Structure 1
């Protein structure tokens, strides 16, 4: 999947969210998207998945099967989890056993006959993850896939990412938790001021969270960046 000179904004007078983006996610690769909140990571992921279209430029070589998991699964739909996944499987032409298999793996089996609107956020997010992988995706796009998930389900996300790439698919994931960034071979795209800066995989990366006084936050971030560290985010 390639972005070729992609520009995007939400209105003719709005600021550009992306300016001339030119990057590629190769088959078998994991790409971790980094950047502060509000910088446009979700917009980039939607462009990659085909949910949005560029204002300028184009997205090419997008695989025929794209799995898309938004940050919040749209649960306000008149289906049970079973009905929704069965219809998604039919659209994807996934094997008949795929719904039951993924429901069991993600701990969804007890909720299959529950309406989507009645599910907790975490359980609804599992439905969103399941629908994305019912058929093996050539491109899997995950927007902060851990939001609302329990500890057991969070462990599964890196496993699923590894399985998709091992099968030759590409994975593009935003990851403010740093749970995917440390995977061997993961490439990083850092989005800032409308531009994407790509960097190769880190040899051995861990995430360290620190707390500083609010007045010292800017200076601390600047010093860490100057020392070559990647800032995954700043929160109050």
Structure 2
């Protein structure tokens, strides 16, 4: 779980004599950190994410420090498969050695429980993306990589993405996200990696002045209040019961 994921002097191209899509990329992402990859369409954002997750291998350079558990959600989940969502996720849970109860827990959280017994090929793009999110989170990932995670999701689920990010980094994991919809505003403390002309540069790290507010709610509403605060991008530093 601990240590940096390091893309070290990484170059990549899709064919032997093609132009380099990315060149001389040197980036590190440490425990508890989030980075958002920004850039125009076709700039190489998805390529960078696939190199980080291990879907693609560098033509030059190396990627080191990748943790044992990596969660990967591509921009478009491959839903053209002859399984129900539940059957697919049950198989993925078995492959990863995850508790099958996690399927129902995440389906409830993402308001997807009513679609678990629907064939993947019949799901809308947004519902298929929820399947992609669930499979990536069945085992707590040390690295979570999300390619345009807000694309196609309903408003309620879009609000869940910052809470999911907070859960992963709160356990010491790392999160890498691409964004072209301007949703980076939902992650104010994230690092910004800009991709342009094959190179990746880091923008100024955001400095967020924070205030700490103590909030009291009825015990029965605590879980809902915490989930709502995290969904709105707030950090929950601790929970205690009044005595």
> Where on the TM-score scale, by shorter chain, does this alignment land: which range?
0.7 to 0.9
TM-score, scaled relative to structure 1: 0.84
Superposed, 1:23-172 pairs within 5 Å as: 23-172=27-176
Q: Match of 1:190?
A: 194
Residue of structure 2 aligned with 1:8, choices 3, 12, 30: 12
Q: CA deviation at 1:199?
A: 2.8
Q: Rate the CA distance shift 1:62–1:70 in 2: closer, same or farther, 3 A.
A: same
Q: Helix, strand or coil for the counterpart of 1:91?
A: helix
What runs of 5+ residues in structure 1 fail to find an aligned partner?
205-236
Q: Distance in 1 between matches of 2:162 and 2:188?
A: 11
Q: CA deviation at 1:182?
A: 5.0
Q: Helix, strand or coil for the counterpart of 1:158?
A: helix
Q: CA deviation at 1:201?
A: 2.5
Q: Distance in 1 between matches of 2:62 and 2:185?
A: 27
Q: CA deviation at 1:175?
A: 1.4
Q: Match of 1:227?
A: none
Q: Helix, strand or coil for the counterpart of 2:61?
A: strand
Flag as ranges the 4+ runs of structure 1 deviating above 4 A: none
Q: Match of 2:177?
A: 173
Q: Which moved more, 1:180-189 or 1:139-148?
A: 180-189
- Name the Cα RMSD after superposition: 1.4
Q: Distance in 1 between matches of 2:183 and 2:163?
A: 11
Q: Helix, strand or coil for the counterpart of 1:37?
A: coil
Q: CA deviation at 1:107?
A: 1.2
Q: CA deviation at 1:96?
A: 2.5
Q: Given that residues 184 and 201 in structure 1 are in contact (C-alpha distance below 8 angstroms), is that contact kept between their aligned partners in structure 2?
A: no
